[in-house]
Amino acid sequence: MFRPLVLLLSLAAAPALAQTIAAGGVVNAADYTAAVAPGSLIAIFGSNLAPATTSAASTPLPTSLAGASVEVNGQPIPLFFVSAGQINGQMPFGLSGTVSVRVRTPAGLSPAVSLPITPAAPRLFTRSMDGKGDPILVRATDWTMVTAAAPAQPGDYLILFLTGLGNVSPAIPAGTPAGDNAANGPLNQLPAGAVTVTFGGQAAPVLFAGLAPGFVGLYQINFQVPAAPSGNTIIVATRDAASSDTTTLPAPSRVTVSAVAEQSVGARRFGSSSKLALTWTAPSYPVDHYQITAAETLQGTTVSTTARSLSTTLSGLKAATPYAITVKACADAPCRQSGAASPVTGSTATEYWQLRGAGNTTAGLARIVRDGNVRISATRFGPEAGPVTANRIQLYYGPMAPPRGALTTALTTSATSAADPASYLSFTSSGATTGLLTPSSPAPLIESIATGQGVPMTNGKVRLFFEAQGADRKTRIFSLDSVDGFTGQDFNSGSATTCSTTADYSPGGGCPLSTLIGVEGDTTLPNPRIPNARQHKVAFPTQTDWRWDGAPGTFLVFTTDRIPGCATGGMNHGYAVWDGAKWNVQYATNGCPKLFLDAQAAFPMHLGGQRYKLYYGDPTITTGKGPSNLPFLGPKKLIYSDGAVSGSLDRVDFEDWERQSLARDVVFLWPNGDPLNDAAEGYIDDYHFLAPTGNLDLQVMYLAITNGTEVPFASAATLLNP
């Protein structure tokens, strides 16, 4: 149960050397110092510590992961996580004196490292998960976090989380979930009086000190805030005089927030949509480093960084969002002696996207591929992709006639470079000689081909996710893997380079389909109350790797249409999460699928870690819609997610997204700098957002656009203020 807390630790990169524990590389997992007690959670840093990256899937914890183990005095210890550069585990209880620590892998045994063990070494887990800054402190009544904005009050009952309190009673084997006075047995605690807590300079009554029920290696202290605390400094001490002492010092002053990379386009002036600059004045004492934290109230997420000078730039912020920013001066490396300035406020800019081309009408826009029509999707390939697609961008799109009902490819002609816009904005069409074509007569599941998305896989293939309507007039989501590797253009195992015939799509044909999202009434992967599954997008961590490794936790959004009893609007988006074997549509307790309501053409873009942003059109706003039947999506909206909201480090669930009521507007500009009016923005459709170089400083929106009367065509926009 404690794995999520441990996996928040920074992962250190490691060269391919003989397994070696770094000097000073065995530390506790709270503040990364060598203060370690029996039962402490530890982190080991070094090189070639494990042949693969993996984590424990169940408890009791295993003593070997991916063939790697850690031996303390010759005995293997329980492990949470292993990788080449870092291992997380738990020290056995009952240790004393100096112990020997070694790492064993299939390649051999590392040199031993000596580590002194103290009876107790209390170290607090902090909100930044690096032992610095504010501790993780929650109210016992409702588990809400104690923060500067919601401080503890006299009489409050609080819970503090830490490691290093040492042996407990009754004794428990390391790696085992702590007792909970239920299925896991009695509570494992320290004797009364063994631990003291000082809060704001006053003694605080301790109600419980021991292992957190149900968790592995995590300690908790329950205490009551004294009647008249002076500040909120917390000191935990044990009978052997071990302490987590912290001291409050004078704070930095004159903290100033300003925009980053301000620019003027037309009559508008704006700065970065994801960065803010800060400056401040140093306090009078020597400062080891500064901790800077920006917190937003829309979803309660934070962004933190450190600095050793008197200025920094915060990045990874949400667009058009106000932040409360705190600068803390730390006099020592663990930041036990510190002073924090009062929060200052600053807001990021709205995103400004500029269409490529010239003028202020669709007539002047760049056409990125000569026959591009609709269903635009773009895929970035890395240097390992091979001679055809390495470092290039490939479109999967619907071409102009003929043939209609196709999903074909177009490729850039040179390696992607931020300095050369043509390398990511100019594509050569395959002329519908690649990809998928609608068969002349329906196959059982394929009557017509629609939207698709190419996802490079770590197995060396491209998985083409696509929607198709079957002979029963219902639309489902399928996938096919390429037979030409990372070229990603041929999905037919036969001699043809396209999937195009009824036989191709039929059982035993050259294009064997995998059904991913079925609909209500299907015999294969049915999904109750889903009448159609259309216009989908797969979200995988593209900031980590241009390939998807098939790991569980990846999610997919898809259009569901109107669902009686669940959604009255005609355009809504369902949500499915990959479990390693299939896509699981998420449902609410009332039996309805969890939905982004009144959302069309939703597209998620990875921002790093488990953070994503989601663009969508709001079809309920029809201002500017013309009389034609061309799709009109309304203004484009933007929301954000963070897997940390629900505590998940390997997935983003529906609940990790901001409420749609918090959605931000997105501004679109013509090439000449004029803003698009409601009609022009509403006719932007079938878009795909991408960082062509893998760096978020360059973001491109590949899109289909029309003026409401002409045939839609493929164009592009770039984010002016990333």
Domains, the chain, ordered by start: 3-117 (2.60.40.10), 253-347 (2.60.40.10), 353-719 (2.115.10.20)
pLDDT band at 245 (very low <50, low <70, confident <90, very high): low
- What is the reported pLDDT for 148? 84
16: confidence class by pLDDT, cuts 50, 70, 90: very low
Q: Is the pLDDT of residue 404 over 70?
A: no
The pLDDT tens digits of the residues spanning 417-426 come to 999 999 999 9
Q: Quick check: 380 pLDDT over 50?
A: yes
Cα(4)–Cα(216) distance, integer angstroms: 11
521 vs 105: CA distance, rounded Å: 50
Give yes or no for residue 240 having a pLDDT over 80.
no
Q: Report pLDDT digits (tens) over 356-370.
A: 999 999 999 999 999
Q: Is the pLDDT of residue 334 over 80?
A: no
pLDDT, residue 383, reads 97
> pLDDT tens digit string along 651-666?
899 988 999 999 999 9
Question: Would the pLDDT of 12 be above 70?
Answer: no
| DSSP string computed for 363-409 | GGB--SSTTEEEEEEEEE--GGG-TTTTT-EEEEEEESSSSSSEEEE
State residue 437's pLDDT score: 95
Residue 321 has pLDDT above 50, yes or no: yes
Q: How confident is the model at residue 498 (pLDDT cuts 50, 70, 90)?
A: very high
What pLDDT is stored for residue 246 in this prediction? 57
* Confidence at residue 234, expressed as pLDDT on a 0 to 100 scale: 82
The token duo for 115 is 């580590």
| Region 237-266 average pLDDT | 84
Q: What is the pLDDT of residue 73?
A: 86
Residues with Cβ within 8 Å of residue 508, at least 6 apart in sequence: none
Give SS3 for 258. Answer: strand
Residue scoring higher pLDDT (3 or 498)? 498
How many Cα atoms are found within 13 Å in the side-chain-facing hemisphere of 643? 21
Q: Assess whether pLDDT exceeds 90 at residue 325.
A: yes
Mean pLDDT (the chain, rounded): 92
Question: Could you tell me what percent of the chain has a pLDDT over 70?
Answer: 95
For range 153-164, the mean pLDDT: 95
Q: What percent of the chain has pLDDT over 90?
A: 80
Q: What pLDDT is stored for residue 648 in this prediction?
A: 61
**pLDDT band at residue 636, thresholds of 50, 70 and 90?**
very high
Residue 462 has pLDDT above 90, yes or no: yes
The residue ranking higher by pLDDT, 88 or 610, is: 88
- pLDDT exceeds 90 at position 483: yes
Strand, coil or helix: 505: helix
338 against 177, higher pLDDT: 177
Quick check: 63 and 79 in contact, CB under 8 A?
yes
Report the pLDDT value the prediction gives residue 149, as an integer from 0 to 100: 86
Above 70 in pLDDT, residue 4? no
Nearest residue to 157 via CA among 205, 89, 213 = 205
pLDDT tens profile 102-122: 999 998 888 888 888 989 999
Question: Of 2-6, 88-92, 695-699, where does mean pLDDT reach its minimum?
Answer: 2-6
First and final C-alpha spacing in the chain:
37
Model pLDDT, residue 247: 64
Q: Rounded to an integer, what distance in angstroms lies between the CA atom of residue 540 and that of residue 551?
A: 9
Are 316 and 644 within 8 A, CB to CB? no
- Average pLDDT score over residue span 456-473: 96
pLDDT interval class at 230 (50, 70, 90): confident
pLDDT band per the 50, 70, 90 thresholds, residue 14: very low
Position with higher pLDDT, 237 vs 699: 699
Strands 352-355 and 667-669, how do they pair?
Answer: parallel
> Residues near 571 by Cβ (< 8 Å), separated by ≥ 6?
559, 561, 598, 599, 600, 619
**Which tens digit of pLDDT belongs to each residue from 163-190?**
999 999 999 999 999 999 999 999 999 9
Name which of 297, 296, 335, 329 is nearest 312 in CA terms. 329
* Distance separating alpha carbons of residues 489 and 571, to the nearest angstrom: 31
Work out the pLDDT band at 644, boundaries 50, 70, 90.
Answer: low
Q: How far apart (Å, rounded) are the C-alpha atoms in residues 405 and 467?
A: 11
Least trusted range by pLDDT, from 78-87, 163-172, 203-212, 649-658: 649-658
* Backbone dihedral region for residue 435 (phi beyond 0: left; psi -120 to 50: alpha; all else: beta): left
Question: Using an 8 Å Cβ cutoff, are 290 and 327 in contact?
Answer: yes
Q: Is the pLDDT of residue 643 over 60?
A: yes
Check whether 1 has a pLDDT greater than 70: no
pLDDT in tens, 278-306: 999 999 999 999 999 898 878 878 888 99
CA dihedral (271, 695, 692, 497) positive or negative: negative
For residues 644 and 719, which has the higher predicted lDDT (pLDDT)?
719
Is residue 715 predicted with pLDDT exceeding 80?
Answer: yes
What pLDDT score was predicted for residue 249? 85
How many Å separate Cα 448 from the centre of its chain?
Answer: 34
Closest by CA position to 91, among listed 172, 170, 11, 195: 172
What are phi and psi for residue 28, nearest 5 degrees? -75, 160
- Band (pLDDT 50/70/90 cuts) for residue 401 is confident
